[in-house]
């Protein structure tokens, strides 16, 4: 099925083409948008196709499955690809009026598409080594995007980000090498099959722990989360929005893939570990945000606490909790990106991120207020927005599994999230502008407004259509917990 490779291939083509047009910024922007639209259509087509026909695979170059490169789009991958397509479109829309493609930023479109190719590749690949390669592709592009503009604070944040990610990649590669040495396969379905037949506890413990550390660093789980809030808020608002939505989620995605593959064979140990990590991630993230007064730094800390919920869903590892996690992915990626885009709107208006020096926006611009309020309340988990259902399903999964402490932690963290969001709301929107601050002009481009509106509408729609979406998520979750269907689709082996 060739559609499986389409989002990845289109992104690569877009990167190559926009690289040729770095001197013609108008044309480059238009082409970048067109290619993003194409990516969006292709990824939505993939979602629709997988929804109707189940898991699709593509053996690149017709090499048979456990030996060649296999691309797999199971329902979970398809969902992730679909949201990534939406974010690609929204981000390209944002550049019209939100980013001037000059100086360093001439190279934003090609790098952006390279990064998206890496993200799509990570979601679609069927073997672990290609997961590593796609990770590196998206990381390398993100390194450059992170320091684009070359301001002092950015360089520092960028260095921290790069150095910690290099360590994480080394862990990943070591785990990969050891696993291949012992199991003799890199195809995920083949590994699952071989480990199911003879789970060697030594291999499982060592490679499992190495993978867990590597993906925890990438996903900013406690105690590896300190790089995130010291790097994400320094780059361009658009870039930090894309990072906030997608990059940490790729880490968690990989963790979810590795769980039924390897970690499941020492379930008691890894589940206990992940539950503790999840709880601490939620709490430390939200508490650190409480003392901050910089919009994007507050939001960065909230990425961490939200990742705690996702990790909680992964750790419980029942079909229901995995479905809840997948639903949380859908909600979280869109909401978080939109919050960063709204912070970008504030940045466009005030020229900085310090909420103490902002004010009076509610009176001046109702649309921006509504966009921010929708995303903020969705993040905090207010019904009927997407965040309510996301949190509800996760906490229900925790309840069904008897994780009382974590369930109440989740509720408390939700309340504290609301406190943080209200803090931004009070400072930037409700309070009068502080004395001595110049009344800002409300002049944001069409692009940022449109893309933020697009995502805000998605948040409401996800809340309204939570039922059908969750049904699809359940289908995807079943396949993660019981990989028999996945193995059959890739290898043609009936278990």
Q: For binding to another protein (CB under 8 A), which residues are involved?
A: 129, 132-133, 136, 139-140, 143-144, 147, 150, 152-153, 155-156, 158-159, 162-163, 166-167, 170, 173-174, 176-178, 180-182, 184, 186, 229-230, 291-293, 297, 354, 356
Contact 237, 341 (CB under 8 A): yes
- From CA 314, how far away is CA 326, in angstroms rounded? 9
Contact 115, 138 (CB under 8 A): yes
Q: Which two tokens stand for residue 141?
A: 């592009």
- From CA 237, how far away is CA 224, in angstroms rounded? 24
**Closest CB to another protein among 149 and 440?**
149
List the one residue out of 283, 344, 352, 271 whose CA is nearest residue 313. 271
**Closest CB to another protein among 140 and 433?**
140
CB of 357 to another protein, least distance (A): 10
Count of residues in the chain:
495
For every residue of 333-383, DSSP letters joined together read: HHHHHHHHHHHHHHHHHHSS-BGGG---HHHH-HHHHHHHHHHHHHHHT-T
**Closest CB to another protein among 16 and 153?**
153
Contact 336, 417 (CB under 8 A): no
**Closest CB to another protein among 147 and 247?**
147
Q: Which two tokens stand for residue 375?
A: 């995303």
**Closest CB to another protein among 127 and 401?**
127
CB of 114 to another protein, least distance (A): 12
**Closest CB to another protein among 63 and 465?**
63
Give phi and psi for 126, each to the nearest 5. -105, 0
**Closest CB to another protein among 203 and 491?**
203
- From CA 280, how far away is CA 276, in angstroms rounded? 6
Q: Which two tokens stand for residue 456?
A: 């805000």
CB of 376 to another protein, least distance (A): 21
CB of 177 to another protein, least distance (A): 3
CB of 362 to another protein, least distance (A): 23
Segment (H or E) for 328: helix 319-350
**Closest CB to another protein among 49 and 293?**
293
**Closest CB to another protein among 112 and 143?**
143
Alpha helices in 243-294 (DSSP H): 248-261, 267-290
**Closest CB to another protein among 48 and 153?**
153
Bridge partners for 101 per DSSP:
none
Contact 169, 132 (CB under 8 A): yes
CB of 328 to another protein, least distance (A): 28
CB of 356 to another protein, least distance (A): 7
CB of 298 to another protein, least distance (A): 11
For every residue of 83-119, DSSP letters joined together read: HHHHHHHHHHHHHHHH----GGGGGHHHHHHHHHHHH
- From CA 300, how far away is CA 228, in angstroms rounded? 7
CB of 215 to another protein, least distance (A): 16
CB of 207 to another protein, least distance (A): 11
- From CA 309, how far away is CA 328, in angstroms rounded? 8
- From CA 332, how far away is CA 330, in angstroms rounded? 6
């Amino acid at each position: 099925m060739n559609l499986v490779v389409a989002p990845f291939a289109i992104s690569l083509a877009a990167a190559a083409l926009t690289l040729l047009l770095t001197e013609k910024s108008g044309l480059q922007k238009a082409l970048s948008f067109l290619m993003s639209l194409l990516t969006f259509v292709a990824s939505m087509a993939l979602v629709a196709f997988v929804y109707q026909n189940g898991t699709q695979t593509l053996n690149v170059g017709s090499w048979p499955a456990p030996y060649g490169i296999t691309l797999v789009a199971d329902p979970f991958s398809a969902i992730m690809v679909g949201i990534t397509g939406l974010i690609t479109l929204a981000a390209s829309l944002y550049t019209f009026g939100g980013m001037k493609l000059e100086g360093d930023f001439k190279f934003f479109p090609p790098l952006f598409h390279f990064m998206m190719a890496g993200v799509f590749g990570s979601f679609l690949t069927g073997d672990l080594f290609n997961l590593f390669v796609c990770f590196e592709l998206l990381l390398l592009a993100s390194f450059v995007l992170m320091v684009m503009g070359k301001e002092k604070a950015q360089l520092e944040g960028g260095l921290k980000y790069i150095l910690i990610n290099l360590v994480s990649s080394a862990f990943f590669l070591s785990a990969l090498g050891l696993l291949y040495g012992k199991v003799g396969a890199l195809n995920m379905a083949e590994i699952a099959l071989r480990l199911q037949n003879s789970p060697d506890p030594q291999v499982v413990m060592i490679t499992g722990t190495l993978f867990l550390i590597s993906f925890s660093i990438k996903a900013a789980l406690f105690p590896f989360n300190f790089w995130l809030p010291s790097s994400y808020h320094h780059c361009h608002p658009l870039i930090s929005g894309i990072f906030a939505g997608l990059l940490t989620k790729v880490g968690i995605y990989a963790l979810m893939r590795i769980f039924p593959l390897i970690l499941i064979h020492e379930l008691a140990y890894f589940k206990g570990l992940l539950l503790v990590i999840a709880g601490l991630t939620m709490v430390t993230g939200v508490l650190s945000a409480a003392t901050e007064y910089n919009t994007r730094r507050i939001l960065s800390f909230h990425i961490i606490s939200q990742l705690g919920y996702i990790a909680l869903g992964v750790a419980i590892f029942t079909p229901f909790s995995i479905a809840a996690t997948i639903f949380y992915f859908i909600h979280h990626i869109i909401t978080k990106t939109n919050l960063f885009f709204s912070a970008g709107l504030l940045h466009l208006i005030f020229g900085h991120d310090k909420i103490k020096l902002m004010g009076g926006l509610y009176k001046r611009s109702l649309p921006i207020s509504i966009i921010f309020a929708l995303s903020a309340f969705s993040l905090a988990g207010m019904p009927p927005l997407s965040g309510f259902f996301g949190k509800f399903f996760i906490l229900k999964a925790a309840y069904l599994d008897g994780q009382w402490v974590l369930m109440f932690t989740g509720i408390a963290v939700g309340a504290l999230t609301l406190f943080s969001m209200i803090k931004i709301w009070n400072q930037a929107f409700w309070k009068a502008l502080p004395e001595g601050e110049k009344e800002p002009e409300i002049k944001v481009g069409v692009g940022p407004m449109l893309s933020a509106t697009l995502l805000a509408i998605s948040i409401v729609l996800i809340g309204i259509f939570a039922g059908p979406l969750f049904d699809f998520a359940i289908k995807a979750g079943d396949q993660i917990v019981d990989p028999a269907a996945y193995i059959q689709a890739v290898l043609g082996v009936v278990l």
